[in-house]
Structures are given as C-alpha cells and as structure tokens.
Amino acid sequence: MKLATAAEMKELDRRAIEERRIPSIDLMDRAAEGVAQAVLRLLSGRPGKHCRVTVFCGAGNNGGDGIAAARLLFLAGVRVRAFLVGDYEKLTPDALEETRRLSECGVELETYDPENLDQSAWARGSQALVDAIFGVGLSREITPESRFERAIRLINECSGAVVAADIASGVEADTGRVLGCAAKADKTVTFTYKKVGQAVGDGALLSGDVTVWDIGIPKDLTITSRVQTVESAFVRDALPPRKPDGHKGNFGKLLIIGGAVGYTGAPYLTASAAVHSGCGLVYLGVPESIWAVEAGKCVSAMPFPLSEKNGMLSYKALQDIEMKLSACGVLALGPGLGRSPHTERLVLELLARTEKPMVLDADGINALAGHMDVLDARRERVTILTPHDGEFARIGGDLSGGDRLTAARNFAATHGCTLVLKGHRTVTVGPEGNALVNTTGNSGLAKGGSGDVLTGIIASLLAQGASPIRAAAAGVWLHGRAGDLAAEELTAYGMTPEDVVGHLPEAFLEVISGK
C-alpha cells in the first residue's frame, strides 16, 4: 500500500479542486461521512438518544471535517456537542460554512474552555469522541498547557472510543513523531491514502485501526510515493519461482559464517531459518571448538570447522572461507560471531575482497564501526545490513531526530547499501531511496536469536534469486508473520526464536495460497 506525505496530499487536493473543479466543500462532506460512519459503527446497538459524542475541532479544514461529522451524527439521532479548539476568527471558509450548517440543525459550535467543567463532564461521559483538531499539515510542537494540549490530554483521559479524522492530532504526518503531545486513537479514518506517519514511529502506535476513506478525488490523480507498506501480495510477488523439475543446486547456495564459544545458538538459528525458507544448500562455517555442537544440531544444513583463537574465528580462517564461498552465491556474516581484533579484521577483509552478495548482521555490523570506507567501497556490490537501533548508531546512523525512515534513507543512500532498520515497524530501504515498511510482528520477537532467524530468511531469499530489497522486505514480513503465528499458538511470552522458524512453513503457505 502506498503511503503519502503531507505535501503529496496537499497537491492532490489542489489538483482535484483547481484542475477538476471539485468543490472543496464536497471533499469535506465526503470526509465527514467517513468519520461519522466510523463513529456510528462503534455505537452500533446502542439507542441514539442514549449515546453521547464529543467532537473536538480545530479551526482548519481538519476541524471542518469534524464539524461536518457532528452535523451528520446529530441527523443520525446521536446527542452530540462540538468544541472548537482554536479561534472562531481563524476558521477556514469551508469550516465556517460547515459551522453555519451545523447551527441550522440547532447545534452550536462551542469554544472549548479547559476550565469549563460542563464541557469536560460531557466529554468524559461520551461513548465516542472525534479528534479533528489538527490534520496532516501540523509541523510545529504543540505548546504545553495550551488549549490544544489540554484538549488532547482530555481526549486521552476519556473512556470513550476515539476516532481520529485523517490523522491523530499531534502526530507528524511524514515521520510518525509526536509533536509535543498526541491523541491516542482507537480508529483513524484517513483520506485517500494512508500517511507515512501512520505506519512508522509513534504514529503507528497512536493511530489505532486505520482505514482509508475515499473522499472523491479522481482515481487517475495519484501520488508517486517512494514509501509503501509490505503486504502479503508484495511477498508473494517477491518470492523466487521454484522450477518443478529443479534440484538442490537450482535453489541457491548459501554460506553462513559466525558463531563463537558461548554463542552456539545464533549460527544454528540462521542456518535453520535459511533451510526453512527454501534455500537448496546451506553451509555453516564456525570455530572448530563449537563445530561438534553445530553438527549435532544441524540436520539439513552442513556445518564445517574453521580456525579460531580464544573461542572466536581467527583471521587465518579467511582462506578456507573464500574457498567455500567460491562455490556459493551469497554470504551471511555475523550471527554469534563475537568481537575481537581477529573477527573484525576477518569481516573487513571479506567485505573488501568478495564480489558476492553479503548479508551483514550482529557483530558483522559492529566490525564496521570506524571503517565505513570499507562499506562504501562495496557500492557497486550487493550488501544488506540488518542493524537494530544500537548497532545502527555505532556505524553512524543518526536517530536523534526521532525520524527512523529519513535516517534509514540517508544511510542507505550515503553508503550504497540495502538497510533493514529493525524495530517496531521495521523499515527496509534501498540505496536509491525506496522504502518499505513492515506490517507484521509482535513483542514476542523481542528476544535474543530473533535477528539471527531474520538473517537466515533474507540470505536464503537472496541466494534463491530475489532482488536485494525484495529479499530483505519479504524476509522481514515472513519473519514477522511467522512470529505472529507462533504468538497465536504460544503467546508472545512463551514463544521462542525456534518457534518462529517452526512456523515459517505456515507463513509461506499463507502467502502462496493467497490467504
């Protein structure tokens, strides 16, 4: 699903109004219809005369949507009050017209007063509240203790369900950042396109259930968004085809390098995930002192021993790794690798010397700290990095502004790599700036070993022939979906990374069958 920015939506509205001659008030009425219908569905089964609804409106066109929704709710038999959080003199022409229409119905737009106990009591006793204070154009911090901040605080304190018009007030449309404070919606009715800020950052948590409502903008007026969410259909298209008469050599050869004394689980999980994701041949190179452990665990992957020092891979292992890699298509480097001068030198040499596509994870990423020139030199080669926020910061990623999407795009463009920035709503970005936001996963994945599983899935899809960004984004979705299936069966508390691997076949089946 394409995700829109505030600027793209502003341009769409302009074109619809100026080029297609669609009255702006008509667009507002259609938006209000979507909001009103969402509220009525929440109130379904309750007699209208016993239902209270409070509509909080700003002075802009988002407020106009709310004022118009208040009128529609009143006409549907709901007891409704509309509070203007702002100045009457600043109402836009369309919002002013909607205020006139509301007044004709016998409902007046009331100026919101935080000290008015009657208004507060009405809101607290409402079964539903509409948040139409700020729209997607908000770009400044909401002033503490202002009427706006106090209205949003009241909305969040009320027990009634909250429906946001277009976007939860206080959420920045392009980043998902909270601009001082923000309403927490149970449902957001967004218009024409879902917004970037509803899929990433805190906005993804504050938007609730997001539905897209058609307000009448012609279908041929579209956006050229470079940001989209990853859905099942995307993953189905991204999966490499499997020849009915193929053999194991046709479905990719993957080399995984990692492991250390005390970190025997990570390389095993990566190898197991790769096998469960369709890779034909999976080789696993580990320090010789843990080779027997890996050999005992791995049934379908093929572990082999490498030179080590102090329980971690030694630089002397480089020649054997390169020999094995010559017969493989992809290298996954880093799971359980550990940190030492030897492993760091080994990682940097492999990055510099191999032309093969690489997936870099964990301590493979950490080895890059202070050596980003080695990554930059691979600009014309395929390199996928899978850092969490801490690893991202170590290699120069800047999350200080709270905008994960822009930080990921800047990093991928600067270093010419494909970046998978892990976390809630993991973001995958290609070097050209295309961004894909994940929609699966749960807190049960926040356990040691989950990242190793993800590395195996991505590397497996890449080895089978998927493009770097498709392998990465589809891998993230499958990882999250398998995690969701594991949580449904075992709960987020009880599930393990091994359980995620075990549910990968079911996740693939859902994608392939189109469920």
Please check the confidence at residue 262 and state whether its pLDDT lies above 90: yes
**For residue 458, what pLDDT is reported?**
98
Query: Taken in order 243, 481, 446, 434, is the CA torsion positive or negative?
Result: positive
Q: Where are the domains of the chain?
A: 3-223, 232-513
**For residue 44, what pLDDT is reported?**
84
**For residue 514, what pLDDT is reported?**
87
DSSP tag of 359: E
> Strand, helix or coil at 420?
strand
Element at 309 (helix H, strand E): strand 308-309
Which CATH number among 3.40.50.10260, 3.30.70.260, 3.20.20.100, 3.20.20.140 corresponds to the domain 3-223?
A: 3.40.50.10260
Query: Which residues are within 8 A (CB) of 13 and not within 5 positions of it... i.e. 6 or more apart?
Result: 24, 27, 217
* CA–CA–CA angle 355, 356, 358 (5° rounding): 120
Mean pLDDT confidence for 235-250: 93
Mean pLDDT confidence for 17-33: 98
Please check the confidence at residue 49 and state whether its pLDDT lies above 60: yes
Please check the confidence at residue 48 and state whether its pLDDT lies above 80: no
Please check the confidence at residue 89 and state whether its pLDDT lies above 70: yes
**For residue 468, what pLDDT is reported?**
98
The correct answer on CATH 3.30.70.980 for the domain covering 232-513 is no
Tell me the whole-structure pTM to 2 decimals. Answer: 0.94
Please check the confidence at residue 47 and state whether its pLDDT lies above 60: no
Q: What is the pLDDT of residues 130-179, one digit of tens each?
A: 999 999 999 999 999 999 999 999 999 999 999 999 999 999 999 999 99
Mean pLDDT confidence for 390-416: 95
Mean pLDDT confidence for 494-502: 98
Report the phi/psi class of residue 500: left, alpha or beta, with left for phi > 0 and alpha for psi in -120 to 50.
alpha
